[in-house]
Structure 1
Amino acid sequence: MPDSPADHHQARRNPRTARLHRRTALVTGAAAGIGLAVADRFRAEGARVAYADRDAAGAETAAAATGGRPVHMDVSDEASVVAGYAGLAADGWIPDVVVVNAGVQLFGHDAEVAELDLDVWRRTHDVNLTGAFLTVKHAVRGMLRIGGGSIILSGSPTGVRGEGAEFTAYASSKAGMHGLGRTVAAAYADRGIRVNTVIPPYTETGLVSAITGDPAARAVIVGRIPMRRAGTTADLEGVYVFLAGEESAFATGGAFAVDGGMTSL
């Protein structure tokens, strides 16, 4: 389905904000935080954007602000993921850009491995890793139909190094996501599907409110960032745009750290 006349007009009027013109993107976890910021930036760059979230009301509100499309999607439930993609496809929206961003971090419940409850492990992995698998699985099926696309995973420093010693479930789920990205990238590179992972910094969104509300805990984390400040969603938008567009056409299987140097030490 072609973009609306309004989209064409916006792209012509401000060509500097048209890097994703004619792209169709789906962003999970788009009702808040990094997902919302990336989805909004994609809209500003000329893409059609599906704001997917299990918070249906939040997705509606977020999408309405930019003229995007809300999608109610629980990434831990395959039937919900299938229905979300199918609803888009029925209207000619087959995403050629998918941002796998939905996630949970169960502060107060996640713990060192000897103290970790199996239920917390399962709840975390159901969303963060199984959810990533299901989102990627059905993204790839759609992209194979249209000749390719770009999948971007939101990783974590905890999945790269020992930043999450007290968050066994979260850190291991993100490490699994990094591995998933590399595996899928290798499997589909010859069919036009690119898969890359963004490693964000400690970013002050609603996901980490337990830390932002604890000055001592926040100081410890920020102290491990060479740039000596927390990240913001504005720090991250650009790399997602780059990986979504043609400027990164030869990039796949990569991990792009935008973390103030946190994983460089």
Structure 2
Amino acid sequence: MTRLQGKTALVTGAAMGIGYAVAERFIAEGARVVLADRNAAAVAEAAGALGPLARAATMDISDEAAVAAAFAELEAAGWTPDVVVANAGVQLFGHDAPAADLDLDVWRRTIDINLTGTFLTVKYAVRALLSRGGGSIILTGSPTAVNGEGRDFTAYSASKAGVHGLGRTVAAAYADRGIRVNTVQPAYTETPLVAAITDDPDSRAAIVSRIPIGRAGTPADVTGIMVYLASDEGSFATGATFSVDGGMTTL
């Protein structure tokens, strides 16, 4: 398993969940991986668990100065990435709501992290990849961006729709300079991010019932497509959305 041999990757939101699973799989495929997260202690522990091919970076993706500093530090240390997975995000259960009931502060916090934070990650990723002669950027999307799954999560759904649009725009802008940008769209995936659903049997059963394959997703379910898009095998794939959702968006 050496499909990513010689590559350096940066994965945001990597202290747990999908981000950690992707980092672990990338290392298994031969890459060096920077695990980035705003929780310094948690990401340091996560990187330590993955061994010498892992490095921790503290990064609040909603803070441009923090993002710029993290990329500069990696460049100085010889860890400039040629693969960037923009995965970090929030879903504010108990606060996000249908539009008429949504507080502006909840909207702003969600957009600041999920959309503006992804933009800032992509902005500095593009600069890093241009210095490397190209590379791959992978965004984590959501079914809420394309169907009615997020009807009770206005801010989250809008932020993820923006991420999908951002991916296509950046892909078009930099395709002729060797940078590929794609979005991976998981289904409901059981991670700490969605504990409010996982811990409620009725809510969990309702959402799983809408997945034709008949089960919830796991972080491991999305790592294979991430490897493909990060590797040279995906050299002709850009501007696309890859659904790994058990058929959820076919309904």
The TM-score normalised by the length of structure 1 is 0.93
How do residues 133-144 of structure 1 correspond to structure 2 at under 5 angstroms? 133-144=119-130
* Structure 2 residues without counterparts, runs of 5 or longer: none
CA distance in 1, matches of 2:227, 2:201: 33
CA distance in 2, matches of 1:182, 1:115: 31
Following superposition, the deviation at residue 141 of structure 1 comes to: 0.6
How do residues 226-245 of structure 1 correspond to structure 2 at under 5 angstroms? 226-245=212-231
Following superposition, the deviation at residue 234 of structure 1 comes to: 1.3
Misfit runs of 4+, over 4 Å = none
CA distance in 1, matches of 2:45, 2:201: 31
Task: Select which of 58, 67, 80 maps to 1:72.
Answer: 58
| In the alignment, structure 1 residue 190 sits paired with structure 2 residue 179 | no
- Name the structure 2 match of 1:92: 78
Structure 1, residues 98-155: CA drift from partner, whole Å, max 9, x if none?
Answer: 0000000000000000000000000001110000000000000111111001000000
Following superposition, the deviation at residue 66 of structure 1 comes to: 1.2
Aligned to 2:248, the other structure's residue is in SS state coil
CA distance in 2, matches of 1:146, 1:42: 19
- Name the structure 1 match of 2:209: 223
| In the alignment, structure 1 residue 178 sits paired with structure 2 residue 164 | yes
Task: Select which of 30, 48, 52 maps to 2:14.
Answer: 30
Aligned residues: 249
Task: Select which of 133, 136, 139 maps to 1:147.
Answer: 133
Following superposition, the deviation at residue 172 of structure 1 comes to: 0.4
CA distance in 2, matches of 1:164, 1:234: 23
| In the alignment, structure 1 residue 42 sits paired with structure 2 residue 26 | yes
Following superposition, the deviation at residue 188 of structure 1 comes to: 0.2
Task: Select which of 21, 25, 44 maps to 1:60.
Answer: 44
Q: Which amino acid aligns with 1:131?
A: G
Query: How many percent of aligned residue pairs carry the same amino acid?
Result: 69
- Name the structure 1 match of 2:68: 82
Q: Which amino acid aligns with 1:39?
A: A
- Name the structure 2 match of 1:5: none
Aligned to 1:263, the other structure's residue is in SS state helix
Following superposition, the deviation at residue 191 of structure 1 comes to: 0.2
Following superposition, the deviation at residue 61 of structure 1 comes to: 0.6
The TM-score normalised by the length of structure 2 is 0.98
Aligned to 2:249, the other structure's residue is in SS state coil
- Name the structure 1 match of 2:189: 203
Q: Which amino acid aligns with 1:224?
A: R
Following superposition, the deviation at residue 93 of structure 1 comes to: 1.4
Q: Which amino acid aligns with 1:47?
A: A
CA distance in 2, matches of 1:78, 1:163: 31
Query: CA RMSD for the aligned pairs?
Result: 0.5
Aligned to 1:219, the other structure's residue is in SS state helix
